[in-house]
Each structure stands twice: as structure tokens, then as C-alpha cells.
Amino acid sequence: MSGNGNAAAIAEEDTPKMRVIRVGTRKSQLARIQTDSVVATLKALYPGLQFEIIAMSTTGDKILDTALSKIGEKSLFTKELEHALERNEVDLVVHSLKDLPTVLPPGFTIGAVCKRESPYDAVVFHPKFVGKTLETLPEKSVVGTSSLRRAAQLQRKFPHLEFKSIRGNLNTRLRKLDELQEFSAIILATAGLQRMGWQNRVGQILHPEECMYAVGQGALGVEVRAKDQDILDLVGVLHDPETLLRCIAERSFLRHLEGGCSVPVAVHTAIKDGQHEDGPEDDPQLVGITARNIPRQPQLAAENLGISLATLLLNKGAKNILDVARQLNEAH
């Protein structure tokens, strides 16, 4: 009996342990759903690895009584997760790409930009206004949004409406809409509603002529330590080439404009067919993104496109407009 027990113990010791990859995420339901989808893909690609999800709260999750544009912090939803990455408590972090600043702290990079879902904004109406559109809402109806970008565009397009800040995760904002009688509608990202399985709440999709979307909206970014080549190789297969190029162009545009949460910067991008030869690689990162498995030349072209458009707008007076927007935002 004891002989068999010893043999079993020795066999157990000889069995190699599966490597555990620790994945950081925010605690919200949407963040967990997004992280679960990335981990499911990685598990399918790497059946010999184990993945452990570690959830934590960020500054943006804790400050719920102030509009995002007023807080003045560039890494509201990323800082605590990056601290965990720096301390080697996690190996990679899954973010909504639009939450990641265009300049990352030293030592970090975006190792994967996953396939984008719809980047457009959606209108969710209070039950008594279902069937309406923003255009047909009554005069002085209050529309909730946490985004200066959305409010700035929609105020101009729909001057009969009033826009008011609404904070909280998706569940909280929908509850405020349905229960408080304060808002006639709220504006949310279509991708978030789709990922939560709440497509039936979408009353109107806002197309670019009504409201252009945020840089990186609808895409997920996987942040890693820039020198962790093993993990970079592991997540690099998640890059979606079209999403990657669009998001490099968008992030390059935003970085050159020096935009952020406190100014209303919006984009709309599309890929047109084109052939590119690969070129030499200097700095592996472009606007914080590392994608060694994607041809370099299209990435540089995307970055240059963003810079060119930003330069064009700056030459036409965009800097003055953004400066005034910042001042107005700080004054209110």
C-alpha cells in the first residue's frame, strides 16, 4: 500500500506544472466580459497554458460624482492596472483601447489590438420615449453623457436638447435612466451594449455625420511590459490588421493634437485597399503599440496619416479652439 502511495507521489512531482498567465482587468461587468473573451481566445490558441483573471478597481471606477473631463487625469481607468503590471502581479492587462492614453508610461506597450466591434455611439431612450430619435425628443429634453466629445457634437446638431453629465458603469447609467425620471435618453458606446447583450436597448445609432466616435472606440487593447518578449509573442497573434491600422491613425491624430478627456476630439476612419512593401524597423512602438507580426510600412503610413490630418487642423486654428475648450472645461 505504502509503496503504491510513494510511486504516486513521485509521479505527481514529475508532472510539469502548467504555466499560469495572470490577466488584469477592471471589476465592472463589461470589463470582465471583455477580458473573458480575450482569455477564451488565448485558451483556444494555447491549450497548454492556464489563465488566471485578477480584477481591481481603478481611479475612474471610484470617482463617480465628477465628469471625466473635469478630473484631469489621463490614466483614469489604467493606472492601478499598470502598477500591478509593473510590480509583476499580472502579466497582461485587457483595456478598452479608448481608455489608454496615446503616450504610455515607460516600460509598457500595447501588445495587441483586437478586432473592433461597432465604433459608433448609440442612444438609449427612457421607456416613455421608446420609438423617438434625438431629433424628435421634446424641447429641453435632458440627454445624459459622460463624454465632452459627444456633448459638444450633439449640442450643435440638436440645439433643442440639454446635455448633462451621467457617470457610473453601464448597469448604473441604465438604472439612472430608467428609474430617476431625470433623463429622456443617454448616449453609450454601441460596442459595450452589444458585449453586455443589451442590443434591444439601442434606440438609435449615431453615424459620423451626427457624432464621430472616440479614438479607439469599440476595440480592445492588451497592455504588457515592453521588454517581456514571451508575453508580447503570446498576445501578438490577437492583432487584427485592419483595426490596428485604423487605431494607429486615430491615436497618432489625437497625440499630435494633444487631446484627451478634457477636450472634444472625435474621429471616423476607414481602410481603403492598398499594397505596401515592408520597410526597416526603428522604434518598434507606434503610438504605444507594438505589432512586429504586421507589415511595418502600412503602420507607418497610418501614423503619418494621423499626423498629417492633425497638422492640417492645427494650421487651420484647431489649437486655439482646443485651448478655449480646455479653459471653458476648467472654468465650469
pLDDT above 50 (res 168): yes
| Tens digit of each residue's pLDDT (9 = 90 or more) over 232-244 | 999 999 999 999 9
Between CA 85 and CA 226 the distance in angstroms is: 11
Parallel, antiparallel, or unpaired: how do β-strands 92-96 and 49-56 relate? unpaired
> Of 64 and 106, which is predicted with more confidence?
106
pLDDT above 80 (res 325): no
Q: What is the pLDDT of residue 279?
A: 44
Between CA 83 and CA 181 the distance in angstroms is: 40
pLDDT above 50 (res 1): no
pLDDT above 70 (res 118): yes
The mean pLDDT of 75-104, rounded to a whole number, is 88
Average pLDDT of the residues of the chain: 87
Kindly list the catalytic residues.
99
Q: What is the pLDDT of residue 49?
A: 96
| Tens digit of each residue's pLDDT (9 = 90 or more) over 270-292 | 988 755 444 445 567 899 999 99
Highest mean pLDDT among 2-6, 195-199, 269-273: 195-199
> Of 264 and 124, which is predicted with more confidence?
124
- Reported pTM: 0.86
Percentage above 70 pLDDT, the chain: 84
| Tens digit of each residue's pLDDT (9 = 90 or more) over 310-319 | 999 999 999 8
Q: What is the pLDDT of residue 4?
A: 52
Q: What is the pLDDT of residue 263?
A: 72
Comparing 15-19, 34-38, 79-83, 250-254, the range with the smallest average pLDDT is 15-19
| β partners of residue 224 | 92, 109
